Structures are given as C-alpha cells and as structure tokens.
Amino acid sequence: MGSHRASSPSSPSAEGQGLFAPAPSALRGTVRVPGDKSVSHRAILLGALAADRVVVDGFLRSADTMATVHAVRALGVTVEELVSTDERLVVHGVGWDGLREPEDVVDVANAGTLIRLLPGILASCPFLSILTGDASIRRRPMARVIEPLRLMGAHVSGRDGDRLPPMVIKGGRLHGIRYRMEVASAQVKSCIILAGLRADGHTFIEEPGPSRDHTETMVRFAGGKIEREGNSLGPGVIHVTPLSTDLCFDSISIPGDISSAAFLLVAALLVPGSQLTVTGVGLNPTRTGLLDALRDMGADLAV
C-alpha cells in the first residue's frame, strides 16, 4: 500500500478538504462523553408523567432535547434549568391527569423522536393537541404511529391522507390491543407503549426484530410493568400492563452516548501504545454494534 503524507497542521491538505496532523504521542486518559440523546428525550417525557419532582442528571442539551422541554412546558409541566450546570434539569412531574391542553400548536422543531413519542402520551389525554415541526419533520411518515393509536381508540389525523405532520390529536379513553409491527422501530414501539400504559386492558406489541429498549427499561425503573417474550436480539412480543398509579421516581442519571465515543475509540486503536477509558456509557444490547465490529476486527476492548 502507498504511504500518505500528513499535511502540516498549519496548512490545508493538497485537496483542500481539511487539516491532518500525526498524533504526537499515544492517546491515554479517561473521558466522559455527552449524555445519550434518546434517553434525554425519554427522561423529560417520563419525568413529566411522574407523580412528583424528578432530578435529571447527564441531560444532553441540544436543539432536539430542548424541543421536548418546551413541549412538556406547553402541557403545563414546570422544568427548571439550573444555572450551575447545563447537564442537570429538574422536572416537576404532574402525572398524566395533571397535563393541560396546550394553548398553541406544539412545535417539535426537528425532533423526530418527540413527534413520534408524544402522541402516545397525548392519545389518552382528554383535550386537543396539534403537533408540527420544521420542513424535515413535516415530511416524516407518521402512518405507523397514527394507525395503532386509532386502533386503541384515539382520534388522530394528519396531513396528506393521515400520513404526515402536522397532526391533530383528540385524546380519550383507550383500550389495549395486540399490534404487529411490520418494521422494527424503537420510536413507534415507544409510542404504543406509552399509550398502552393508560389503556383499559393489556397491550401486546409484536416486533419483527430488536430495537432500542430505552423506553421499556426506563418505564420499569419508574414503576411500570413491561415484559418481553422472545430473544432480546430477535423477534419478540412486548407485554404492556396498564398503570394503576402514576410513574414514581425521584431522579435519573442519563448515560453517555456510546456513539459519541466512536471517534475517540477508533483513534486510540489506530495510534500505537494508546490506552483510553470511556466512562458511564450506555451499553444496551442494541447499542454495542460498534464495539462488536471492532472486536471482530481484532481490537483489544474490555467492558
């Protein structure tokens, strides 16, 4: 193989595509990566549904996650942003029955997770909600969310033949269903789970393959009952038991996002003599693909 000459750190590469410099020494140390965005969304939503105050540590402050903060505020939930740290929020949960009809359209901005999870909460609320977002969100398919919610008894409609946002949701009494997902999706699954927690009767979700299980894990942590039949890495059936009381938890620590550590891990593997420790990252079964691939390539990794 031919060798590549690294450009001087003070001048662009020959192609003008960027700056390159050799590592001056081995990479050694301990790093903590930012919080997981998917878990940050869910922590705010579940915190809003909790019976009391919830302290959220490790929150990833981004445009998407702040859209979730703004959304629950529109529903009557107080969220404190502490001046001392960007990573800690306090959500004053009001329970499902404490949510209030928003005075205006709820704008999810570019938060794809929010536009698909929030309808599962609103489907059982006895008021009208309208959800919209930016141009990208308004092109996001929503039929896979609208269909199961309608089957559960919610009145949900969308633009372009109920396929796209904006969405109009008139919540009410729901009933449990057995629903088969054609495509594995953590967002669609989570929407149905959230609706199922407030339904009359149990809800069963058949998923054709694995997807992120953040919602199931966090609902269990907050006192809900969700079980899964089948191999965790294959097809399975998720069993949602309706809540008899509000969710109850007083704090949650959001793990770091393993995908944010990808560049650091690969860099440490490429530079001889490196030893890097990444702390506090989430290692759910469906979040370790990078680690599995690196191990298959002969990387020396320990968890």
For residue 215, is pLDDT > 90?
A: yes
As a whole number, mean pLDDT of residues 206-234 equals 92
Of the ranges 25-29, 75-79, 109-113, 217-221, which one carries the lowest mean pLDDT score? Answer: 25-29
pLDDT, tens digit (0-9, with 9 covering 90-100), for 143-177: 999 999 999 999 999 999 999 999 999 999 999 99
How far apart, in whole angstroms, are the C-alpha atoms of residue 46 and residue 247? 8
Kind and range of the H or E element at 6?
none
For each of the domains in the chain, give its residue range(s) and CATH number, in order of start: 28-34+255-296 (no CATH), 37-253 (3.65.10.10)
What is the predicted pLDDT for the residue at 160? 96
- CA-CA distance, 277 to 217, in Å (whole number)? 25
Dihedral, 244, 218, 151, 180 alpha carbons, nearest 10? -130
Residue 224: band (very low, low, confident or very high) from pLDDT cuts 50, 70, 90 = very high
Give counts: helices (H), strands (E), the chain.
9, 14
What is the structure's pLDDT at 20?
61
The span from the CA of 48 to the CA of 54, in Å, is: 8
The pLDDT of residue 170 is: 97
Residue 300: how many other CB atoms lie within 10 Å: 9
| Separation between Cα atoms, residue 289 and residue 295, nearest integer Å | 10
Mean pLDDT of the chain: 90
Residue 226's CB is within 10 A of a number of other CB atoms, namely 20
**Out of 67-71, 84-88, 275-279, least confident range:** 84-88
Name the helix (H) or strand (E) containing 159. helix 159-162
Q: What are the two backbone dihedrals, phi and then psi, of residue 220, each rounded to the nearest 5 degrees? A: -60, -45
Paired tokens of 261: 């550590």
